[in-house]
Chains A and B, each alone.
Chain A
């Protein structure tokens, strides 16, 4: 379904054609109002994430406690109020965007990296023993609920950001492998691959120079949506105490701390949740928009 013909020309021609392809994707993307809105929301979040350390001091504003200032409701001084240790929730939310983005990208990096290798190997050698072994492994992991696998891994190996990224990365890898495999399969039988094979190009080269670059489209779409899902998973894991550790102001961790006080101070749970919803929504809109832009036929 992806337009691949553009890339098979010689290098120079290919680049010109590719740019025009990119331009047309961008054109279609921009026409999609919702996707464009998502992009703007996302850019704002990125700006916040990068600007936070310039405006705020981690030690002074984020983790510094003031026990006499606990549970102050929203006011002009503290827009979202203060938490159980007397810290300003607004500042912590701003800082939290860094964590969610960073861990979210890390998770997708791991699952996309692993998924690409597994998926392309198994797709390229379709029907071989390797393909069968890899896919049965994926089946096994897919049969274990993802949350559960992540919980088992993190609770066993210890709570830390790298472990969390690894656990979520591994638990989403099988699905990613499946997607990559499917798109590799659809490309493998195209003429230009057959041409490369008949020229005696090595398998490795075919895979990395011809097939994977052409499968990038669906991978980007899936990657974007996957970042959105990962941010939710990270928050869920932190919420049950197996994710990002305090005093780091990760949104799920903030909700986890707020839960015990929820009845008495409900304002504690509003802001972090809304932050998650907005972030995830922006990524979902972008992902959906990209899918439509890459493949206009798919729309509706």
Chain B
């Protein structure tokens, strides 16, 4: 188990290095650089040259890459933003809480609604509610999230004027984006909880419970749901990981100054350290969340733990 965790953590290192190299190459081998963009429309070439020198944009590609990586590995220094001259760390952390809030809103909405609708759909299998929920699920998966966002804006912010159209200064600002971001995961969660509930309800122990006269409500919530929870927990964890990096366009539409907006802004301005910093941060975080999900999963499900131990034993014997 410990070995497993350590191995997973160690595997992150080459992945993060790889990410930094991939992005560094993309950002640096394509035309245009930050100096030109930052100085604006009436700058002189000498000034551009000066700024290039100051930002260290003049060295060879590998020289600059190794400098960059060297600073990270040796000093934990992720560089400074070309745009604001703040350390990348500050840049990322002043924006991150917005993304985090959006992610929490989305996960909360999708998990609660998703599980409830999924259960409803399962216990009313093949009836009108089930069909309606299935249709909603289908609609949500087929809908581009940005379009859903625009529709919600038109309805709630423009026609009804009960929610703000964009920005991130109060909890009200997170309702529409939260729902928009939740939409896709909502569909997944509904599907997953429905099929998981159905699967468990075919188990012998559920039949036994019914046979011995346990009230239907208890059958559903105490017996079936508890056992159907496992895959749902994983899904929520995976969603959380994706949510942190996957809300770029939603942040754009709703004007949330989170990591996604920062990344887009920085890509457009060729603010390389910020782009790489953001992506590494998001990648690290979602890997950690995935790891945590796996661990939680193992503790919830004793069967899996047993299986894991068996696999490990097998592996050990194979190694001998």
**A interface, CB within 8 angstroms of B:** 136-137, 139-141, 143-145, 147-148, 151-153, 155-157, 228, 232, 235-236, 239-240, 252, 255, 259, 262-263, 266, 269, 273, 276-278, 280-281, 284-285, 300
| CB within 8 Å of A: which B1-59 residues | 11, 14-16, 18-19, 22-23, 26-27, 29-31
- Provide the residues of chain A in CB contact with B248, threshold 8 Å: 145, 147-148, 151
Closest 3 CB pairs of A and B: A156-B30, A140-B18, A145-B245
**Inter-subunit contact B142/A269 (CB<8 Å):** no
Shortest beta-carbon distance from B152 to chain A in Å? 12
Q: Mark B260-271, 1 if CB is under 8 A from A, else 0.
A: 000110011000
CA distance A148 to B26 in the complex (A): 12
**Inter-subunit contact B23/A152 (CB<8 Å):** yes
Asked if B234 is at the interface (CB within 8 A of a chain A CB), the reply is no
20 contacts between A and B (CB under 8 A): A136-B18, A140-B15, A140-B22, A141-B22, A144-B283, A152-B26, A155-B267, A155-B268, A156-B27, A252-B144, A255-B146, A255-B150, A259-B150, A262-B150, A262-B154, A262-B158, A276-B144, A277-B142, A281-B142, A284-B141
Shortest beta-carbon distance from B239 to chain A in Å? 14
Known A143-B286, A144-B23, A152-B23: A281·B249 in contact at CB below 8 Å: no
Find the A residue at minimum CB distance from B23: A152
Q: Given A140, A157, A232, A236, which contacts B19 in the complex, CB threshold below 8 Å?
A: A140
**Inter-subunit contact B147/A255 (CB<8 Å):** yes
- Provide the residues of chain A in CB contact with B267, threshold 8 Å: 148, 151-152, 155
- Provide the residues of chain B in CB contact with A147, threshold 8 Å: 246, 248-249
**Inter-subunit contact A281/B138 (CB<8 Å):** yes
CA distance A285 to B142 in the complex (A): 10
Q: Mark B274-291, 1 if CB is under 8 A from A, else 0.
A: 010001001100110000
**Inter-subunit contact A262/B246 (CB<8 Å):** no
Find the B residue at minimum CB distance from A234: B144
CA distance A140 to B13 in the complex (A): 10
**Inter-subunit contact A236/B198 (CB<8 Å):** no
Shortest beta-carbon distance from B91 to chain A in Å? 16
Known A143-B15, A155-B268, A300-B198: A277·B252 in contact at CB below 8 Å: no
Chain B, interface SS category: helix
- Provide the residues of chain A in CB contact with B287, threshold 8 Å: 143
**Inter-subunit contact B279/A235 (CB<8 Å):** no
Knowing that A139-B15, A252-B144, A280-B142 touch, tell me 14 more A-B residue pairs with CB under 8 angstroms.
A140-B15, A143-B19, A144-B283, A145-B242, A145-B248, A151-B248, A152-B27, A236-B144, A262-B154, A262-B158, A266-B158, A269-B151, A273-B144, A280-B144
Q: Given B29, B153, B195, which contacts A300 in the complex, CB threshold below 8 Å?
A: B195
- Provide the residues of chain B in CB contact with A278, threshold 8 Å: 142
- Provide the residues of chain B in CB contact with A151, threshold 8 Å: 248, 263-264, 267
**Inter-subunit contact A156/B264 (CB<8 Å):** no
Q: Mark B48-91, 1 if CB is under 8 A from A, else 0.
A: 00000000000000000000000000000000000000000000
CA distance A139 to B268 in the complex (A): 25
Asked if B143 is at the interface (CB within 8 A of a chain A CB), the reply is yes
Shortest beta-carbon distance from B121 to chain A in Å? 12
**Inter-subunit contact B154/A266 (CB<8 Å):** yes
Find the A residue at minimum CB distance from B31: A156
CA distance A262 to B264 in the complex (A): 23
- Provide the residues of chain A in CB contact with B142, threshold 8 Å: 228, 276-278, 280-281, 284
- Provide the residues of chain A in CB contact with B26, threshold 8 Å: 152-153, 156
Shortest beta-carbon distance from A118 to chain B in Å? 15
- Provide the residues of chain A in CB contact with B143, threshold 8 Å: 273, 276-277, 280
**Inter-subunit contact B30/A157 (CB<8 Å):** yes
- Provide the residues of chain A in CB contact with B141, threshold 8 Å: 280, 284
Asked if B139 is at the interface (CB within 8 A of a chain A CB), the reply is yes
- Provide the residues of chain A in CB contact with B11, threshold 8 Å: 139
CA distance A300 to B141 in the complex (A): 18
**Inter-subunit contact B22/A235 (CB<8 Å):** no
Q: Given B27, B146, B263, which contacts A239 in the complex, CB threshold below 8 Å?
A: B146
CA distance A276 to B14 in the complex (A): 39
- Provide the residues of chain B in CB contact with A269, threshold 8 Å: 147, 150-151, 154
CA distance A148 to B11 in the complex (A): 22
Q: Given B15, B139, B146, B198, which contacts A136 in the complex, CB threshold below 8 Å?
A: B15
| CB within 8 Å of A: which B264-320 residues | 264, 267-268, 275, 279, 282-283, 286-287
**Inter-subunit contact A262/B153 (CB<8 Å):** yes
**Inter-subunit contact A284/B23 (CB<8 Å):** no
CA distance A281 to B30 in the complex (A): 37
CA distance A279 to B65 in the complex (A): 44
Shortest beta-carbon distance from B187 to chain A in Å? 10
**Inter-subunit contact B139/A281 (CB<8 Å):** yes
Shortest beta-carbon distance from A284 to chain B in Å? 6
Find the A residue at minimum CB distance from B184: A232
- Provide the residues of chain B in CB contact with A281, threshold 8 Å: 138-139, 142
Q: Mark B129-142, 1 if CB is under 8 A from A, else 0.
A: 00000000011011
Find the B residue at minimum CB distance from A256: B146
- Provide the residues of chain A in CB contact with B195, threshold 8 Å: 300
- Provide the residues of chain B in CB contact with A263, threshold 8 Å: 154, 158
- The residue among A144, A151, A155, A263 with the most chain B CB atoms within 10 A of its own CB is A144
Shortest beta-carbon distance from B126 to chain A in Å? 11
Shortest beta-carbon distance from A263 to chain B in Å? 5
Find the A residue at minimum CB distance from B283: A143
**Inter-subunit contact A152/B275 (CB<8 Å):** yes
**Inter-subunit contact A273/B151 (CB<8 Å):** yes
